[in-house]
Amino acid sequence: MKYIESKKNEIFKNLKKLLLKSKTRKNSKRFIVQGLKEIILCLDSNYELIQLYTCSEIHSKKYDDLYIKYKSTDLSYNLYKELSYKEKGDGFLAIFSSKEFNLNKLILPKNPLLLVAESPEKPGNIGAILRTADAAGVDAVIIANPKTEIYNPNIIRSSLGTVFSSQIGLGKTKEVINFLKKNKIKIISTLIKNSVNYSSVKFTGPCSIIVGTESSPLSDDWVKNSDELINIPMKGKIDSLNLSVTSAIVIFEALKQRNAN
């Protein structure tokens, strides 16, 4: 097993660029995954493993077969810690090939439930809605007008790896609207004004739940093309919730209705 301990090593330098720079990930079509659980989830989701890295100073010896199978490279603890985007790493790191998130490649069932987020920027929010969608069995997550790269390390971390197992589509708002209409999927958008209580709307058929960020309401295109405009009643002084919280509330209402039928 090859061992690396110098910060001047070219492999380490390239790993650091891949971790820190979105442009490097985009150009190379590769990204870093940390943690054995996330790496296995990535493998199970049919991502191509390019290289496995381990830190023998902290990883468990019971995974020796994994190191042999994928011919891992050993990193010193200091190098591994510098590449770690988790507070407590388990000694595993890997490079995978990225995938394209084409809307037209989404595989939908007869009665799909989709979540669409318009222009989300915070990686933590994106990761959180992916976890929520996974927990509820949402068929696909679509990001309209994406502002943040999907393989951002903070999205991977906050999604607990569900970014790999989820069906994800990316596109401009008008492309997403056209996709939904083409597939005869009801558009239900969250909006504060001129909207009805979310629990009064039917989510039982093919439908998509559209959410926007706290700082910016949904664009006019959604208002014009929505079948339903909904809100979550507020009893306090604020008039909006965190993106992931809004998503969770409406998604689980939809799930409750769909399970009742």
What tens digit of pLDDT does each residue of 203-228 get? Answer: 999 999 999 987 677 999 999 999 99
Instruction: Return d(Cα 230, Cα 196) in angstroms, integer.
Output: 5
Q: How far is CA 253 from the centre of its chain?
A: 21
Which residues form the domain of 158? Answer: 103-260
Same domain for 62 and 143? no
What is the CB neighbour count within 10 angstroms for residue 258?
A: 17
Give residue 62's pLDDT. 60
Q: Using pLDDT thresholds of 50, 70 and 90, give the confidence band for residue 86.
A: low
pTM of the model: 0.91
pLDDT at 68 over 70: no
Look at the chain and report how many structural domains it folds into: 2
pLDDT at 206: 98
Residue 88, pLDDT score: 72
Same domain, 109 and 74: no
Please state which of the ranges 13-22, 106-115, 119-128, 238-247 shows the lowest mean pLDDT: 238-247
pLDDT digits (tens, 9 = 90+) for 171-205: 999 999 999 999 999 999 998 788 999 999 999 99
- pLDDT score of 132: 95
Return d(Cα 98, Cα 77) in angstroms, integer. 27
Of 80, 97, 114, the residue that ends a domain is 97
Q: Give pLDDT tens digits for 24-65.
A: 999 999 999 998 889 999 999 999 999 999 898 887 666 666
Instruction: List, in order, residues 6 or more apart from 224 with CB less than 8 Å away.
Output: none
CB 32 within 8 A of CB 80: no
In a shared domain, residues 93 and 59: yes
Looking at the fold, whether 87 and 195 belong to one and the same domain comes out as no
Q: Do 113 and 78 share a domain, yes or no?
A: no
The pLDDT of residue 260 is 87
Assess whether 141 and 62 both reside in one domain.
no
For residue 38, give Cα distances in angstroms to 96, 200, 211: 12, 38, 27
User: What are the distances in angstroms from CA 243 to CA 44, 166, 187, 210?
Assistant: 29, 18, 18, 11
Report the half-sphere exposure of 167 (CA within 13 A, side-chain side).
Answer: 17
Of the pLDDT bands very low, low, confident and very high (cuts 50, 70, 90), residue 250 is: very high
Same domain, 46 and 162: no
For residue 241, pLDDT beyond 90: no
Same domain, 157 and 224: yes
Are 125 and 246 contacting, i.e. CB atoms less than 8 angstroms apart?
A: no
Q: For helices 123-136 and 243-260, what crossing angle results, to 10°?
A: 10
Cβ(175)–Cβ(225) below 8 Å: no
- Identify any residues that bridge with 74 across adjacent strands, giving them in sequence order: 3, 54
Of 97, 130, 156, the last residue of a domain is 97
Domain boundary among 97, 132, 151: 97
- pLDDT value, residue 60: 64
**Residues 111, 91: one domain?**
no
231 forms beta bridges with: 197
Give the domain CATH number at 88: 3.30.1330.30
- Counting runs of H as helices and runs of E as strands, what totals does the chain give? 11, 12
| Percent of the chain residues past pLDDT 90, beyond the cut | 76
Together in a domain, 146 and 84: no
226-to-170, 175, 208, 211 alpha-carbon distances in Å: 19, 14, 10, 12
Question: CA of 89: how far to CAs of 30, 46, 123, 169, in Å?
Answer: 21, 23, 20, 30
Tokens standing for residue 59: 């990883």
Give yes or no: residues 8 and 117 share one domain: no
* CATH number reported for the structural domain that contains residue 233 in this entry: 3.40.1280.10
DSSP 26-41: HHHTEEEEESHHHHHH
Rounded Cα gap, residues 1 and 199, in angstroms: 58
More confident residue, 90 or 179: 179
